[in-house]
Structures are given as C-alpha cells and as structure tokens.
Amino acid sequence: MSNTQKSAFFATGLMLFALFFGAGNLIFPALMGQQSGSAVFPALSGFLITGVGLPLMGVIAIGYSGSRDVQDLASRVAPWYGVAFAVLLYLAIGPLFAAPRTATVSFEIGVVPFLGEISERAKQISLAIFAAAFFGVSYWLAISPGKLVDRIGKILTPALLLAIAILVFTAAAKPMGALQTPAEAYQAGAFTKGIIEGYGTMDALASLVFAIIVIDAIRSMGISETKQVLSLATRAGLVAAGCLALVYIFIAYMGATSVAGLGMQENGASVLSKSAEFYFGLGGKVLLAVIVLLACLSTSVGLITACGEYFNRLMPQLSYHKWVVIFTLVSFGFANFGLKEIIKLSIPALMLLYPLTMAIIILAFLHPFFGGKRVVYITTMLATGVMALFDGWKTFESFMEMKSDFVSNLDTFFNANLPLYGSGLGWLLPALVGFAVGFVISKLSK
C-alpha cells in the first residue's frame, strides 16, 4: 500500500467515526458513567462490546459478504424482503427519525442553554430557524458524495476530536471527586447492564448503511479486488472503532467522577453540559456546543448521503440530487416536531429493526458454515421477526398509552419463560432455534 493510499484509508476511517458519532454517543456513556460509579469499568466493558464491536462487525459483514448494499445482503432471505428491509432501515435512520434527531439534539444541547428563559412558541420558532440552517449545511456537504472523505474525514472529524479531547482530558487530569457507589441497576451485573446500554447508540443499524459509503470511497481510490476492499474496509473500521472506544472510555470516566461535583443527573446531556461549565464556565458551554454541532452535522450528512444514493439506485427516475433535496426537506419537517416526539415515534421502529439487523449481520458471517442455504436465512429471520414485531408493537402500545389484554398476557408469558426477554434480548433464543431448524432442514433436503 502506498503512502497516499495509507493516508486515504486513515481519512476514510476518520470519516466513518464521524458518521457514527452523533450526540447520542456522547450522552449514553456520560449517563452510564454517573450511574455505574465504582463499577464503571465492568459496565464500560459491556458497553464497548455493543457500542463499538457490533458496528465494527456490521461494516466488516458488508465487506465480507461481498454485497453491493444492505438490500443485496437482506435479499438472501428473499428479494422482496431485501427491498422491504432496506427501505425501512434507510427511512428509520434517515429522514424519519435519526436525521431529524441530529438537528433537535444539537439544538437542545448546543443552542437552548444560550437562549435563557423563553416561551415555548419562541423556542419552536428558534428550532425552525436553527433546523433550516443545519439542514442547509447538511445539504451542501451531501450534494457531492465524492468529496465526503475530504470534507468530513479531513476537516470535520479532526475538529470534533480536538474539541472532545479538550473536555475529556481536562476531566481526566482533574476529576471532580472519587468514584461513588453504583446505582441499584449497576450493583449486580454491571457488565450485562453495560451491554444493554450500548444498544442505545443504534450504530449497529447504521453500520450496514455507512459500510457502503466506506467501500465506495475505497473503490474510488482505484481498489477493486474483493479481498483488498475487505482488508481496507476492516482497517478503516478499526480506526473508527478505536476512536469511538477512546471517546467512550474518557466520557464514561468523566461521568463516573462527576457525581461528587454535580450530584446525580437525570440524563447524559445534563452531565455533559454541567461538566463543561464546571471546568470552563461560559467557554465550556461554547465548547460543548461545538462538539455536539460537529458530531450531529457529520452524522446528518452521512445519513442524507446514504439515503440519497440508495433510493437513487432503487428508483433511478429521480436523480441523486433530487433525492437529497427530498430527504433534506423531510428531515427538516420532522425536526420541527421536537426531540421528545421524535424519540417517542422512533423507539418502536428501532425495537423492530434492531433484532433483524443483528440477525442478518450474524448470518453474513455464518454464511459459509451453512453453505448459504436460503432456508436457513428464512427460518432464522422468521423466528427473529416474530419477536421483533411483538417488541415493536408492545413498545408502540406503551408510548400511545394503549393496553391490550393479548399483548399483556404474552408479555407476562415471555417474562416468565423466555430467557433474556426482560433484558431486551428476547429475540436471541428464537433466532437460535430458527437457525437450528433451518440448518437441519438444509441437511435433510440435501
């Protein structure tokens, strides 16, 4: 590999880190650190498995499978399923939920603290103005995907890392106090609790989408041989994973040592904003605003770019440019509902999509083991899908304050009889059973 290629793949890795790293990636480890206290390192170990390891697996899975995109990978179940799954995934992490959330989170953390006491009407108008500017910049950065590595990997990401480093290194050098007693949820099984908390980043969902951006960037360097593409995608993934891990470690530690100085906070945003103000005063608020804005902007650009490219391939009647315009405008529209409503709407969809995404990633790696037999894909995804649909509907009922006897009875039954159901991993055993059934069928039919 030439020095130019080494520099290019490193920039690609930094770009991938910036695409993954939104404001949620700052908030979750900060709150986990506060709540885990003296058990922060066991909790952090679990968090790194799901918050770093799974997204890395998603990137490698796409390169390993040789799939053109997530639709191609999911079509191993059935062609119609590939389209349906890809469309749902792109819409969920794109214009319906994740992209609007980047604007609302950066507004809530980076702008609201400077507005003082204002009415809800004034806040809504301020959000609309901010979202318009935010997505205007996102549109400009996304309109030329060929320049994504230069614009994000070489400009935005180093600035983001520098801003984060100033805050977390200061906190590490001058901790506010000693580690406190863990909250009840972390007193027994901090490692397992950390694993579940890592799902909150939802980066495993985005990994199947961002992997295509990385692979396209590698191919644009003149590298086309499959093994080389996989090797470089893996290296870029490791660069991104390394940056994510370092940031998570320092932010979690900052959260764990902040209880003595700040008291227990309700959410990670408060931990970050009050920590920044504790160390740097008004300058800390400005620093945090820069961190959040850069993190959210990078993610927004990546999501709009990925959605534009996929839907352009799916429906080439509309150009990439037009799709970017559509997704930018839809994202802007949904952003005006506010952060609370976006989260309320998104969680049921994510409860449906997350198990399906995890299952297809695992099957991609096991593909050679079962000879790529379609029946294995079908039975595994069918078993996973049944539980995912139930979890999604149950969550939807909870948010809508609905309650049906059928769902309540099933929920009680699963809680009593299905391992890991209470931890949000109730889909895992059915997926394993589905895989075993499909594997046996494939052997018998052979």
| 169, 250 contact by CB (below 8 A) | yes
Single pTM value for the model: 0.83
Q: Buried (b) or exposed (e) across 425-446, using 16+ Cβ within 10 A?
A: bbbbebbeebbebbbeebeeee
Report the distance separating Cα 197 and Cα 193, nearest Å: 6
CA 213 to chain centre: 15
| 291, 106 contact by CB (below 8 A) | no
What end-to-end distance do the CA atoms of the chain give, in Å? 44
Residues 6+ apart with CB under 8 A from 216: 145, 309
Name the nearest CA neighbour of 145 among 299, 22, 304: 304
Helix (H, G, I), strand (E, B) or coil at 125: helix
Two tokens at 346? 């998104």
Residues 6+ apart with CB under 8 A from 271: 27, 30, 31, 33, 34, 254, 255, 258, 262, 265
pLDDT tens per residue, the chain (446 residues)? 555 556 666 777 887 887 788 767 888 898 899 999 899 999 999 999 888 998 999 999 998 988 888 999 999 999 999 999 999 999 988 898 888 988 988 888 888 888 878 888 998 999 999 999 999 999 988 887 655 555 555 666 677 778 888 888 888 888 898 888 888 888 887 888 888 788 777 788 889 888 888 888 788 777 777 788 888 888 889 999 998 999 899 999 999 999 888 888 877 777 888 888 888 888 888 888 888 887 888 888 888 988 998 999 999 999 999 999 999 999 999 999 887 788 778 878 888 888 999 999 999 999 999 999 999 999 999 999 999 999 888 888 887 777 788 888 898 899 889 888 876 788 999 999 999 999 999 999 86
